[in-house]
Amino acid sequence: MSGFKKFLMQGNVIDLAVAVVIGAAFNAIVQSFVADLLTPLISAFGGLPDFSSLKVTVGQSNFMYGNFINAIISFLMVAAVVYFFVVKPYTHVKERAAAKIESTTHDCPACLSEIPKNASRCAFCTTELAAV
């Protein structure tokens, strides 16, 4: 039982649990955005985007391929919302933050150890370095 308790208290398990809970809450927000804002906007320009009544009957079986089309359209809309409103802005912010961080070190040409940029001699191999 102590091994199980130790496993549950690991940081990555807790992080994963928090990510799942936040992901579920975020899913509700994105689904509402798509269903309540994007779908009516699309229907205003192209008619009602509901294909659920489409079906093919073979013998006694009904194949409701319209529901499948609705699911594909919903998935594509959710994926587009997540990409354009989460992934793209996050990537942009991350790239800007990375550009602001200037490295204060460089590699020694002789031993490839990381040394300060202003160093005149490598602390590891004592090679004299040209002024930066």
| CATH code for the domain in which residue 17 is found | 1.10.1200.120
How many domains in the chain? Answer: 1
High-pLDDT (> 70) share of the chain, %: 95
- Checking if the pLDDT of 132 tops 70, the result is no
Q: Over 70: is that where the pLDDT of 124 sits?
A: yes
The per-residue pLDDT of the chain, averaged, comes to 83
Q: Is the pLDDT at 40 greater than 80, yes or no?
A: no
Residue 128 forms part of a structural domain: no
pLDDT score recorded for residue 89:
93
Using the structure block, give the residue that is written with the tokens 């899913």.
Answer: 27
Has residue 50 been placed in a domain? yes
Domain assignment present for 111: no
Owner of token pair 């009516």 = 40
The pLDDT value recorded for residue 48 is: 61
| Beta carbons of 67 and 29 less than 8 angstroms apart | no
Is 119 domain-assigned? Answer: no
- CA distance from start to end of the chain: 59
Q: Are strands 61-63 and 114-116 parallel, antiparallel or unpaired?
A: unpaired
> Which residue range forms the structural domain that includes residue 81?
1-104
pLDDT at 30: 80
Average pLDDT for 48-64: 83
Q: What integer is the mean pLDDT of 17-22?
A: 86
| Residue 12 belongs to some domain of the structure | yes
DSSP reduced 3-state for 23: helix
Kindly state the average pLDDT of the residues 40-56.
75
Question: What average pLDDT does the segment 47-68 reach?
Answer: 82
What is residue 112's predicted lDDT score, i.e. its pLDDT? 92
Whether 70 maps to a domain, the answer reads yes
Residue 114 lies in a domain: no
- pTM exceeding 0.75: no
Instruction: Among 33-37, 59-63, 104-108, name the one with the lowest average pLDDT.
Output: 33-37
Residue 3 has pLDDT above 80, yes or no: yes
Token pair recorded at residue 59: 């013998």
The pair of three-digit structure tokens given for residue 92, joined into one six-digit string: 């942009």
**Does any domain span residue 1?**
yes
